[in-house]
A and B are shown apart, each in its own frame.
Chain A
């Protein structure tokens, strides 16, 4: 079945630093790919998604490009803020019912 491997954390950066969180996947066909974010004490929010190869999802300054050649969907942000401190999950659908398979999550801490 489909699976996703996510960069191990935690990641600690200074404010305004560049962020990359790696995500690679194994899938049958070309499923949609997602990044979700979980802020402290909250549930999961959809951050961005890409539905086909070469698509770029973007939101709140974050970007990720669906790369079928490298089976990757790395999350990037050019200048992180303290408010970006959260856990980030890469995910893709698996199974006939479209349930999600998640990566292990990456804890990001941004220091002022």
Chain B
């Protein structure tokens, strides 16, 4: 199974600032995804991070707010830009591995004050 590390694990940020979350996988994977989990809610897909091309965003999420990089097959970043308290969430990186299974990182717990 893939092992996924996310940084930071937690952060408290001021509104109006931006934060970049890193996701590192211990093996090369084709598909990487970013999800958001708002307090007490289920998970919602933000985007699919494509290696070597722009991310594919879901309805309601835009690149200006959530720019994503995917420079190689083991690493991706998600930036949450111009943050507001409504962005307080857990942001989770996930990967689809060769075993037909999707694994998640521990999440980055973000609080915007």
Contacts and interface: CB of A to CB of B under 8 A. Distances in A.
A43 B102 contact: no
Contacts of A32: 100-101
Max chain B Cβ within 10 angstroms of own Cβ: one of A43, A45, A102: A43
Contacts of A102: 42-43
Contacts of B103: 46
B45 A105 contact: no
Given A44-B92, A89-B43, A99 B104 contact: no
A66 interface: no
Interface residues of B, number: 22
B42 A99 contact: no
Interface in A37-51: 42-46, 49, 51
Contact of B102 (A51, A100, A103): A100
A98 interface: yes
B104 A44 contact: yes
Nearest to B105: A43
A103 B43 CA distance: 8
Contact of B31 (A34, A89, A98): A98
Nearest to A104: B42
B90 A43 contact: yes
